[in-house]
Amino acid sequence: RVALALVRGRVPEPRTDAPWAIAEHAAAVRLVQRARRVAADALLDAGHWRDALDLAAADAQADPLDEEAVRTVMRAQAAGGRPALALAAYAGLREVLADQLGADPSVETDALHTAILRGDLPVATRPSVPESLVGRTIQAGHLDTLARRAVGEGTARVARVAGEAGIGKTTLLDAWTRARRSAGDLVLAGTCRPLDRAAPLDVVLTAIADHLRGAPDADALLGPDAGTLAPLLGLTDDLAGPARGVDLALGPATLFAAVTAVLGRIAAGTGAILVIDDAHLAGPTFADWLGYLLRRPVPLLVVAGARPSEGPELPATDEIGLGPLDRSQVVELVGSERADDLYDRSGGHPLFLVELASVPAGELPPSLVDAVVSRCDQLGTAGDLVRAAAVIGVLDVDVLATVLNRRALDVLADVELAEQRGLLVEE
């Protein structure tokens, strides 16, 4: 970095057309570029993504066809918690390559693009705690307050983080979980799957088992509830083995009491946080247990991410809603050049915004089409209604009833379901 500090802007042009001067200038340019790339890689590995971005962006601006510089820009933006800007850099590169060379990005660049879309970059290129959650800082601060309150009051609280699919619940919960762990809080976490509807409290049991496997005092934490829970946690043999489903023959009262008691011992003194994502898949037993927990003096904050109008009604003490981003937040995510177009096309929906930013203006990424098609498929006849209305261009109940050969009352019921799931908006 000291050497790079001696270079101000671009390498000065030679004052003579002599071949030796031109050759020396070209060599100096290559040397500075290599130094910038080495420095940018080192800065990224050290976690200084902003400095790395400044270096790489200068090279990418000087030569828009420099794929290596653009890849560094993409990695730096992703490391800063700004994947939409990383995808926008890829879209710009692809457009320039197609216009000027009639070529596509290299395999290496495409692989990086896919990794950013999936969120599976190597840990060294991703922040342990994002510097900001655009449009979600208020919600993260609310969760911080609830965590302090649960510990201070010594009572359980349940915060429901609600929002439609793709609105950013998982992004918020993951970032907030990392931040609380970095701050020294004890956080247990799990994600529900469709199986959890038939396996009561399996997601909670799995989170407990994951914690106990790394705890030196696992036996003490299980305490008198070991006989009830150890087989269900898969901890009967050297704290190893897969967690199994819940035996309904235990009875909910016995199971609820045992799970709550173990969590109470885990949270004793310092308090604890239990983060459950996709809680709308957890089934009614999870909601019943939350009601049981709220009547017990346990310093525990349960944060449950769920889609509205899906799954059981959770007995939450606090509600945190997530909606679309506003125009200024979109500018912060994708920059000012494409912000207006992307905001108009996405409506501020984070998933749509990120996907649209990954392709040139006017195009639709296949992944986005697949996501919407999948959501329509999940709604059955209501999904067919949405498709038909999109083709016709207007949601006229009588016309749709005729086209779909269905009763108008059935069409109205599907309209209501599609609206609840966020595929229709009443104006």
3-state per-residue secondary structure call for the chain: CHHHHCCCCCCCCCCCCCHHHHHHHHHHHHHHHHHHHHHHHHHHHCCCHHHHHHHHHHHHHHCCCCHHHHHHHHHHHHHCCCHHHHHHHHHHHHHHHHHHCCCCCCHHHHHHHHHHHHCCCCHHHCCCCCCCCCCCHHHHHHHHHHHHHHHHHCCCEEEEEECCCCCCHHHHHHHHHHHHHHCCCCEEEEECCHHHHCCCCHHHHHHHHHHHHCCCCHHHHHHHHHHHHHHHHCCCECCECCCCCCCHHHCHHHHHHHHHHHHHHHHCCCCEEEEEECHHHCCHHHHHHHHHHCCCCCCEEEEEEECCCCCCCCCCCEEEECCCCCHHHHHHHHCCCCHHHHHHHHCCCHHHHHHHHCCCCCCCCHHHHHHHHHHHHHCCHHHHHHHHHHHHCCCCHHHHHHHHCCCHHHHHHHHHHHHHCCCCCCC
Min mean pLDDT across 91-100, 254-263, 357-366 is at: 357-366
Helices 83-100 and 350-357, axial angle in degrees (round to 10): 30
Alpha carbon of residue 260 to chain centroid: 29
User: What was the pLDDT predicted at 120?
Assistant: 59
Min mean pLDDT across 157-166, 184-193, 315-324, 328-337 is at: 328-337
pLDDT at 55 over 50: yes
Q: Any idea what the Cα angle at residue 364 is, between residues 361 and 365, rounded to 5°?
A: 110
pLDDT at 28 over 80: no
User: What was the pLDDT predicted at 204?
Assistant: 94
Q: What residue type is 315 in one-letter code?
A: P
Residue 384 burial class via C-beta count within 10 angstroms: exposed 0-12, middle 13-18, buried 19 and up: middle
Average pLDDT over residues 250-263: 86
Average pLDDT over residues 368-383: 85
- C-alpha 347/C-alpha 356 separation (Å) is 11
pLDDT at 307 over 80: yes
Q: What is the mean pLDDT of the chain?
A: 83
Cα–Cα nearest to 388, from 343, 423, 341: 423
pLDDT at 127 over 70: no
- C-alpha 146/C-alpha 271 separation (Å) is 12
**How sure is the predictor about 415, in pLDDT bands with cuts at 50, 70 and 90?**
very high
User: What was the pLDDT predicted at 353?
Assistant: 87
The residues, any chain, with a CB within 8 Å of residue 372's CB and separated by 6 or more, are: none
**How sure is the predictor about 152, in pLDDT bands with cuts at 50, 70 and 90?**
confident
The residues, any chain, with a CB within 8 Å of residue 188's CB and separated by 6 or more, are: 207, 208, 210, 211, 266, 272, 273, 274, 275
- CB atoms under 10 Å from CB of 197, counted, come to 18
Q: What are the Cα distances from residue 251, in Å, to 10, 248, 258, 284? A: 73, 6, 11, 14
Q: What are the Cα distances from residue 367, in Å, to 84, 118, 169, 176? A: 15, 11, 19, 27
User: What was the pLDDT predicted at 173?
Assistant: 94
Between residues 53 and 293, which one has the greater pLDDT?
293
- C-alpha 384/C-alpha 127 separation (Å) is 42
Q: Does residue 281 contact residue 314 with C-beta atoms inside 8 Å?
A: no
Cα–Cα nearest to 334, from 355, 310, 362: 355
User: What was the pLDDT predicted at 188?
Assistant: 95
Matching residue, tokens 């496997």: 213
